[in-house]
């Protein structure tokens, strides 16, 4: 099916000013700033979960729970002392088992945003886990990243779901080529958002955000250093943290893309265009979010 994709609106300062950050007030406790659940990881890639989880806290979320395969839970708990860490059942290959989703179901009523997929292995068992988990969290914003996005092969999702593919992932999920996605990324993003009934963030030098209703935005960044291992995990966590604070899925996605890009610009000025680490991005988020919020409050 050919999808007509109109021009995407640029995420300009004037447009972003219409989407203020929540003003929690000086008396707000951690409950008021939202609870994020980050799920993913494997024996080989536990760091991806750490990057996403730290980014969620740096976005200003008040509470953090992390769920990982049982074999890496203790290491993550020591790496992120601010979090509650839950070890889930795993297969002999280290992937999630579907029944592990039931262990997280009791959290559903108190979790505002779920970040699902960073560091997750590509296995049928993991996708069964993802589908079951989505059914347990019907009222949470869910950010799908990495192999968790493969769940779209089993049917449409929900507008509360945010997907964060790069061009290669989009090509695989859409059964096309990376070249085709890169030739017309806006059309690819709109087609995916329409088909999957989700908010799609197609990452690249120019990132496109598309909603199922055809609304689109774009953000152009010239920071090649952001194309590095762990950068996408950090973005997913940032978006999840903003969603937990109360931003709607498309607004959380838009601000996440912008703040992530601005953090890359800060590090590029400090270190040079290449060579800064994804783990260094999150430390820049609080200052950038505060500055953006301050500009919005000016008369």
- Structure-model confidence comparison of residues 125 and 165, the more confident one: 165
Name the phi and psi angles at 215, rounded to 5. -65, 135
Residues 105, 109, 113, 115, Cα dihedral to 10°? -10
Does the pLDDT at position 297 exceed 70? no
Containing 222, the helix (H) or strand (E) segment is: none
How many whole angstroms separate alpha carbon 117 and alpha carbon 48?
9
Read off the pLDDT band of 298 (50, 70, 90).
Answer: low
Contacts of 160 (CB under 8 A, 6+ apart): 140, 141, 142, 249
Contacts of 265 (CB under 8 A, 6+ apart): 221, 223
Average pLDDT over residues 127-148: 94
Does the pLDDT at position 19 exceed 80? yes
pTM over 0.85: yes
Three-state secondary-structure class, residue 162? strand
- pLDDT, mean over the chain: 92
Containing 36, the helix (H) or strand (E) segment is: strand 35-39
Containing 181, the helix (H) or strand (E) segment is: helix 178-183
How many whole angstroms separate alpha carbon 86 and alpha carbon 96?
13
- The domain covering 31-297 belongs, at the CATH homologous superfamily level, to Ribokinase (3.40.1190.20)
| 8 A C-beta contact, residue 122 and residue 147 | yes
Does the pLDDT at position 138 exceed 80? yes
Read off the pLDDT band of 26 (50, 70, 90).
Answer: confident
Segment 141-171, tens digit of pLDDT:
999 999 999 999 887 888 799 999 999 999 9
What is the residue extent of each domain of the chain?
A: 31-297
Average pLDDT over residues 104-122: 94
Does the pLDDT at position 2 exceed 60? no
| pLDDT for the residue numbered 22 | 83
Could you give the residue ranges of the DSSP H alpha helices within 4-99?
13-16, 47-58, 70-79
Q: Which residues pair with 220 in a beta bridge?
A: 206
Report in angstroms the alpha-carbon separations of 148 from 3, 16, 103, 116, 257. Answer: 25, 29, 18, 6, 20
Segment 185-205, tens digit of pLDDT:
999 999 999 999 999 999 999
């Amino acid at each position: 099916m050919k999808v007509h994709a109109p021009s995407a609106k640029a995420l300009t300062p004037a447009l972003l000013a219409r989407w203020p950050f929540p003003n929690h007030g000086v008396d707000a406790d951690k409950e008021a700033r939202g609870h994020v659940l980050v799920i993913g990881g494997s024996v080989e890639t536990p760091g991806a979960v750490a990057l996403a989880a730290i980014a969620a806290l740096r976005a200003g979320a008040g509470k953090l729970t992390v769920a990982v395969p049982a074999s890496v839970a203790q290491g993550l708990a020591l790496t992120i002392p601010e979090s509650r860490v839950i070890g889930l059942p795993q297969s002999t290959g280290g992937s999630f088992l579907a029944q592990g989703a039931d262990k997280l179901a009791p959290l559903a009523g108190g979790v505002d945003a779920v970040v699902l997929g960073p560091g997750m292995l590509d296995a049928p068992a993991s996708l069964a886990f993802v589908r079951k988990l989505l059914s347990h969290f019907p009222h949470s914003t869910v950010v799908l990243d990495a192999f968790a996005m493969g769940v779209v092969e089993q049917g449409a999702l929900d507008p509360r779901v945010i997907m964060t593919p790069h061009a290669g992932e989009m090509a695989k999920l859409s059964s096309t080529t990376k070249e085709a996605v890169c030739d017309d990324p806006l059309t690819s993003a709109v087609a995916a958002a329409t088909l999957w009934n989700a908010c799609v963030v197609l990452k690249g030098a120019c990132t496109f955000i598309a909603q199922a209703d055809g609304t689109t935005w774009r953000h152009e960044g010239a920071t090649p250093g952001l194309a590095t291992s762990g950068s996408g995990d950090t973005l997913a966590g940032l978006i999840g943290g903003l969603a937990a604070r109360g931003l709607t899925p498309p607004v959380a996605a838009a601000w996440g893309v912008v703040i992530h890009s601005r953090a890359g610009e800060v590090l590029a000025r400090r270190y040079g265009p290449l060579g800064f680490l994804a783990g260094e991005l999150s430390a820049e988020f609080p200052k950038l979010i505060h500055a953006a919020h301050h500009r919005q409050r000016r008369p």
